[in-house]
C-alpha cells in the first residue's frame, strides 16, 4: 500500500528527482521564481521514497492546467515499479487538487521511450494523447563514458573536421554566470529567434533560470570566441548524470568561422561535462519529422546529428481532462501552427 505526502526536504527529493532535470529541486525553485505555484508530491512504500512528481499551476486568460514536466519519476532499482504505476497512484490526489483549483486538465510528459506498449499503458490510466507538446519529443544523447578520442570519432566526418578546423582557427570557450555574459547570450539568442522564426520566452524567463540554478552549481553560460570576439553563446544546465545543451544563439553571420565556433563549443561542452563526472550529453531536441519545416528544432537538427549519439523518441505529452472546456482547448492547441506565430508577432508589435 503506497502513501502520498508532500516532500519538503531537498536532499530527500533530489535522491530520486535529481536525475530528472525538470523534476529536480532547483528547477522547481526556478518555477517558483517566475511565479508558478508548485507542489512536490512523493510516493512512499512503507516509509521509503519510491517516486513522485513536481507539479506546477499554469494559467492564462483562456485556460488553466496542472503540469508535470518530464514526470512523474520513479526509483530505478525497483523492477516492480513503473511510471504508469506511479501515475495510477498519483492521479486520485492530483484530480482532487485540480478540482480544488478549478483547472481544465493535467498534463504529463514523462521520460519514457515511445512504444506501442507504453502508449497502451498510459491510455489505460485514463490519460489522452495531448494535441501538442511542451518538451522535445525527440532528442540525441551522446554517451560520455568512452574516451574523448572515441567520442570525437563518433561524430560525422564533416562535424569532426569542423571541430578541428575551429580549434586551428583559434576558437576558445569560456564559462560564466555573470549578467554581462548573459547579455551577450541574449543578443545572440534573439538573432537566432529572428532567423529561425520561433517563439521565445521573455528575457526574464531565461535570466531567472540563470539566477536560480547557478546557486546549485548546475547552470552556466558558455561563450565561444575567435580573437576575443564572441561567435556563439549557450546556456547549459546539469542534473546528476547529464548535461543539457538547453538554449543557444550565434552571431548574425554565415562565416565559416562562426559555424566552426558552434562545433568547437559543443565539443568543449562535452569534454567539460565529462570532466564533471557526467555520463551523458543531451543535445535537447531535434525535429520529430525530418520534412517538417515548422518544427522549432528543424533548423538545428542536421547540426546536432553531426555529433553522433543515440536518437531517442519519447512518448510525448499526455493529458488528463478535468472538465468539458478541455475539448475547446484541445482544438486550439491542435491548430496552433496556423495562428501561433502570427499571434506572437502581433503581440510584439502591439507593445
> Residues 71-103: pLDDT tens digits?
999 998 888 889 999 999 999 999 999 999 999
The residues with which 74 forms a beta bridge, in sequence order, are 51
Interatomic CA distance for residues 163 and 161, integer angstroms? 5
Q: What are phi and psi of 338, to 5 degrees?
A: -80, -35
pLDDT at res. 345: 61
pLDDT at res. 308: 96
Q: Structure pTM?
A: 0.91
CATH of 138-312, picked from 3.40.50.620, 3.30.499.10, 3.30.300.30, 3.40.630.30, is 3.40.630.30
145, pLDDT greater than 60: yes
CB 171 within 8 Å of CB 323: no
More confident residue, 78 or 197: 78
| pLDDT (average), residues 20-35 | 97
pLDDT at res. 272: 98
In terms of CATH, what superfamily is 2-135+317-350? Gcn5-related N-acetyltransferase (GNAT) (3.40.630.30)
CA-based nearest residue to 272, from 237, 303, 300:
237
> Residues 297-349: pLDDT tens digits?
777 898 999 999 999 999 999 999 999 999 999 888 888 766 555 655 656 66
SS (H, E, C) 54-92: EEEEEECCCCEEEEECCCCEECCCCCCCCHHHHHHHHHH
pLDDT at res. 346: 59
158, pLDDT greater than 90: yes
Domain pair 2-135+317-350 / 138-312, same fold: yes
186, pLDDT greater than 90: yes
Chain centroid offset of residue 284 CA: 6
> Residues 237-246: pLDDT tens digits?
999 999 999 9
| pLDDT (average), residues 119-142 | 94
| pLDDT (average), residues 14-31 | 97
Q: Break the chain into its structural domains and give their ranges.
A: 2-135+317-350, 138-312
More confident residue, 60 or 48: 48
| pLDDT above 90: percentage of residues in the chain | 78
Interatomic CA distance for residues 154 and 160, integer angstroms? 9
pLDDT at res. 27: 98
pLDDT at res. 298: 73
> Residues 109-121: pLDDT tens digits?
999 999 999 999 9
Least confident of 78-82, 205-209, 256-260: 256-260
Interatomic CA distance for residues 230 and 18, integer angstroms? 33
Amino acid at each position: 500500500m503506497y502513501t502520498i505526502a508532500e516532500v519538503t526536504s531537498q536532499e530527500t527529493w533530489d535522491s530520486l528527482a535529481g536525475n530528472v532535470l525538470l523534476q529536480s529541486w532547483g528547477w522547481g525553485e526556478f518555477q517558483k521564481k517566475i511565479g508558478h505555484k508548485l507542489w512536490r508530491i512523493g510516493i512512499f512504500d512503507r516509509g521509503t521514497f519510491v517516486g513522485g512528481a513536481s507539479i506546477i499551476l499554469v494559467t492564462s486568460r483562456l485556460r488553466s492546467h496542472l503540469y508535470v514536466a518530464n514526470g512523474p519519476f520513479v526509483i530505478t532499482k525497483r523492477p516492480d515499479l513503473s511510471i504508469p504505476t506511479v501515475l495510477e497512484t498519483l492521479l486520485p490526489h492530483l484530480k482532487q487538487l485540480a478540482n480544488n483549483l478549478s483547472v481544465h486538465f493535467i498534463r504529463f510528459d514523462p521520460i519514457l521511450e515511445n512504444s506501442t506498449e507504453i502508449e497502451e499503458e498510459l491510455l489505460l490510466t485514463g490519460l489522452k494523447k495531448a494535441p501538442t507538446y511542451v518538451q522535445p519529443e525527440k532528442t540525441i544523447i551522446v554517451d560520455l563514458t568512452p574516451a574523448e578520442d572515441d567520442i570525437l570519432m563518433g561524430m560525422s566526418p564533416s562535424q569532426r573536421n569542423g571541430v578541428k578546423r575551429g580549434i586551428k582557427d583559434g576558437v576558445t570557450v569560456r564559462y560564466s554566470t555573470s549578467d554581462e555574459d548573459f547579455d551577450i547570450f541574449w543578443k545572440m539568442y534573439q538573432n537566432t529567434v529572428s532567423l529561425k522564426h520561433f517563439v521565445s520566452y521573455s528575457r526574464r524567463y531565461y535570466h531567472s533560470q540563470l539566477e536560480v540554478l547557478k546557486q546549485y552549481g548546475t547552470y552556466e553560460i558558455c561563450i565561444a570566441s575567435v580573437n576575443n570576439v564572441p561567435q556563439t553563446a549557450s546556456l547549459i544546465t546539469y542534473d546528476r548524470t547529464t548535461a543539457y545543451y538547453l538554449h543557444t544563439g550565434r552571431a548574425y553571420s554565415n562565416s565559416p568561422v562562426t559555424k566552426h565556433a558552434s562545433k568547437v563549443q559543443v565539443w568543449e561542452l562535452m569534454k567539460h561535462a565529462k570532466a564533471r563526472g557526467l555520463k551523458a550529453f543531451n543535445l535537447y531536441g531535434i525535429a520529430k519529422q525530418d520534412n517538417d519545416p515548422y518544427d522549432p528544432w528543424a533548423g538545428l537538427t542536421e547540426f546536432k546529428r553531426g555529433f553522433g549519439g543515440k536518437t531517442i523518441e519519447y512518448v510525448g505529452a499526455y493529458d488528463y481532462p478535468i472538465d468539458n472546456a478541455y475539448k475547446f482547448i484541445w482544438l486550439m492547441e491542435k491548430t496552433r501552427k496556423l495562428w501561433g506565430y502570427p499571434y506572437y508577432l502581433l503581440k510584439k508589435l502591439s507593445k
